[in-house]
Amino acid sequence: MNTSSLVEQEIRIEQSCNQRSREGESTTLRYFIWTIGCQMNKAESQRIAGYLDAAGHQATTSFSHADLVVLNTCVVRQSAENKVLGTLGLLKGLKDRNPNLQILVTGCLVNADTQELRRGFPHVDLWFKPGDYSELISWSQKRGIPIKHRVNLPRAFSPCAFIPIIQGCDNFCSYCIVPYRRGREVSRPLGEIVCEVEQLVNRGIKEVTLLGQNVDSYGHDLPGHPDLADLLNELSNIDDLLRIRFLTNHPKDITLKLIDTMASLNKVCEHLELPVQSGDNDILKAMRRGYTVERYRELVRTIRSKVPQISLSTDIIVGFPGETEEQFERSLALVKEMRFDAIHVAAYSPRPGTIAWREYEDDVPAEIKKERLHKIEELQAAIAGDINSQLQGQQVEVLVEGKKREKWFGRTRSNKLVFFQDAGDWLGQLARVQIEKTSPWSLIGQVKK
Ligand code: SAM
Ligand code: SF4
């Protein structure tokens, strides 16, 4: 083929793309976004929905009703990865029956080199890295599915919005796949976040949760190095914003400045997610967490003295390679001592490519891991049940997020889930609720008018 015919061919391709683009402008797609994993994934799915809505496409409620499917994936543990692979298999069947179905995949399944994924799952139309909306936009424009560039607001499902403030993680805890999939830390400029929150508040958002794998790293890569405390101060000045939350903190990085800022700003809720992971120093060292149990204990003491109403959540991994019965007992003892409000407990799952996968044998049998997981859950249910029972008869302030089976639900500043029944329209309102019934997981009460 000579050069001029190559050029002619390119022109023909471009014309055909333009033609499809024009045709595409009137195309309304029904889309379905399937999300598993952390809050970051949920926030990113909201954002993808925001782009698709702004382009005129319509959300639908199942795979079978959709022309465009987005899978937002998690592979932090094997169980999550299995669900993702099962769903990809299901979609292959749907695509065989409907070849026009567009399948897009994002989240932590997507690694830097997508070639192998493309070979393994040829029915997927686009793999894009978490948070990489430019790839999504250019792919869709090439296919005549227009998505506007300038839409950057997440879709508001409720009065509460999740705002990613830092992508990636630089920590490389030995068990964790996240840094390999989400890359190094990149903070969003402070002004950009403030502007986004202002726009959301103008659209009725009352509460924001700032997200990052390690929010304590926020800003170190930005000019002037603003930190999370600086961001909280700026956001507090937004008039109609009622509440600010953030997660996840890292025990090795959280600062006194942040704790003092939490204590001083009324809008910042009294809730922290501070993952401890283990109650044994040797295991913490093998996990490469960068702190000791003593340091964690001291930190919690400081936080509780400066923010007395604080509610604390943590994460614990049981059955890390080499974890003996005594080492596990230390995690159990720490749970008893700390009296957390909530715990996310997980059985260790070897993740190919991580340091722990390379260096340690996954030598705690599955049934022992399960037993340890249940022991922590059982103990925690008793502790949370006891903590929550102290709210019986008290009035709490609830920001109402929605309605489920005839009951309004929302959360207290300390992140307790509260349900109440009332004929009024409470969506997005602050309600004072008198607590009548408590459990380890939620509270039920009567609204006070
Ligand atoms: N950045 C946070 C931190 O520092 O703990 C948490 C992020 S991590 C994606 C979420 C939780 O998943 C972790 O706290 C840990 O308990 C769990 N997790 C991560 N990798 C795991 C693995 N290989 N096996 C079991 N649980 C794991
Ligand atoms: Fe994973 Fe550790 Fe980073 Fe959390 S801090 S995302 S556990 S590497």
d(CA 91, CA 206): 37
Q: What is the pLDDT of residue 81?
A: 94
Both tokens assigned to 415: 């992140």
Helix axes 133-142, 39-54, angle to 10 degrees: 30
Q: What is the pLDDT of residue 115?
A: 86
Q: What is the pLDDT of residue 157?
A: 62
- Please give the backbone phi and psi of residue 102, each rounded to the nearest 5 degrees, phi first: -100, 130
Both tokens assigned to 389: 């029972």
Residues 6 or more apart whose Cβ sits within 8 Å of residue 42: 35, 162
How far are the Cα atoms of 48, 176, 217, 284 from residue 169, in angstroms, in the given order?
A: 22, 10, 9, 18
Residue from 39, 79, 176, 283 whose mutation best tests the ligand 1 pocket (most atoms within 8 A of CB): 176
Taking 70 as the pLDDT cut, the residues of the chain under it are: 1-26, 146-157
Q: What is the pLDDT of residue 238?
A: 98
Q: What is the pLDDT of residue 50?
A: 84
Spatial CA neighbour of 143 closest among 172, 169, 104: 104
Evaluate whether 170 touches 184 at the Cβ level (below 8 Å): yes
Helix (H, G, I), strand (E, B) or coil at 49: helix
Torsion of CA 304, 310, 311, 313, to 10 degrees: -60
- How close is the Cα of 127 to the center of ligand 1, in Å? 24
**Is residue 250 in contact with ligand 1, taking CB distance under 6 Å?**
yes
Which three-class secondary structure string do you get for 250-293? CCCCCCHHHHHHHHHCCCECCEEECCCECCCHHHHHHHCCCCCH
- How close is the Cα of 307 to the center of ligand 1, in Å? 26
Q: What is the pLDDT of residue 374?
A: 98
- The overall pTM is greater than 0.85: yes
Evaluate whether 94 touches 58 at the Cβ level (below 8 Å): no
Q: What is the pLDDT of residue 13?
A: 27
Please state, rounded to an integer, the average pLDDT across all residues of the chain.
91
- Please give the backbone phi and psi of residue 400, each rounded to the nearest 5 degrees, phi first: -80, 125
Residue from 75, 178, 248 whose mutation best tests the ligand 2 pocket (most atoms within 8 A of CB): 178
Evaluate whether 54 touches 148 at the Cβ level (below 8 Å): yes
pLDDT digits (tens, 9 = 90+) for 29-40: 899 999 999 999
Spatial CA neighbour of 351 closest among 182, 174, 171: 174
**Is residue 188 in contact with ligand 1, taking CB distance under 6 Å?**
no
Which position has the token pair 């307790």? 416
Q: What is the pLDDT of residue 46?
A: 87
Both tokens assigned to 88: 């990809």
